[in-house]
């Protein structure tokens, strides 16, 4: 949440000449509802099941860069499936930087709507503590806290090329 996955994903897909899939947008199109609406109407459990199905479907779409929501790796067999069918990348960002990025748009994100800055920072720290073991299952980790999206893509491409040559 807030690490820049969608921006990074679009840039990486363009560099690789791959299709780009934003999993949240994919779900919204499939369901005909916004993520916030799915959360509000059906709850997180139903949303996570819809998300799981979207992960399974999207990994079969050929050469693509898929930007997932921050909770995707932590539920069901999502991380296992993504690692089986592709290369996964953990975009690591400090809690403070995530707070700065998320404060302006928090009302549009169901899990953080209405939180003060201090509440948001505490929530991010707790959430990262829970999610980091799943994130660390990724093929690559890139600390992008102080990098532009373009620099993040360049560093990841270099890492991928050095690991596959």
4 labeled binding residue:
yes
141 labeled binding residue:
no
| SS3 state at 86 | coil
26: how many CB neighbours lie within 10 A of its CB? Answer: 19
Residue bearing tokens 């890139």: 142
24 labeled binding residue:
yes
71 labeled binding residue:
no
Alpha carbons 48 and 161: distance in angstroms, whole number? 33
Residue 146 is given by DSSP the state T
52 labeled binding residue:
no
3 labeled binding residue:
yes
Alpha carbons 25 and 5: distance in angstroms, whole number? 13
106 labeled binding residue:
no
88 labeled binding residue:
no
94 labeled binding residue:
no
2 labeled binding residue:
yes
State the binding site for substrate: 24, 48, 70, 131
Residues forming the annotated binding site for Mg(2+)? 6
Q: What are the binding residues for ATP?
A: 2-7, 109
- Residues comprising the binding site? 2-7, 24, 48, 70, 109, 131
């Amino acid at each position: 949440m807030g690490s820049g996955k969608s921006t990074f994903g679009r840039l990486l897909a363009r560099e690789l000449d791959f299709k780009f899939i934003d999993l949240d947008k994919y779900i919204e199109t499939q369901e005909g509802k916004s993520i916030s609406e799915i959360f509000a109407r059906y709850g997180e459990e139903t949303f996570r099941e819809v998300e799981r199905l979207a992960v399974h479907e999207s990994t079969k779409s050929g050469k693509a860069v898929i930007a997932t929501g921050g909770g995707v790796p932590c539920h069901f067999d999502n991380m296992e499936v993504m690692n089986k069918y592709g290369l996964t990348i953990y975009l690591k960002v400090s809690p403070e930087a995530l707070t700065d990025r998320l404060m302006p748009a928090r009302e549009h994100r169901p899990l953080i709507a209405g939180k003060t800055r201090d509440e948001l920072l505490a929530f991010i720290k707790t959430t990262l503590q829970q999610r980091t073991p799943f994130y660390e299952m990724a093929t690559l980790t890139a600390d992008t806290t102080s990098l532009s999206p373009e620099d993040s893509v360049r560093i990841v491409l270099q890492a991928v090329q050095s690991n596959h040559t």
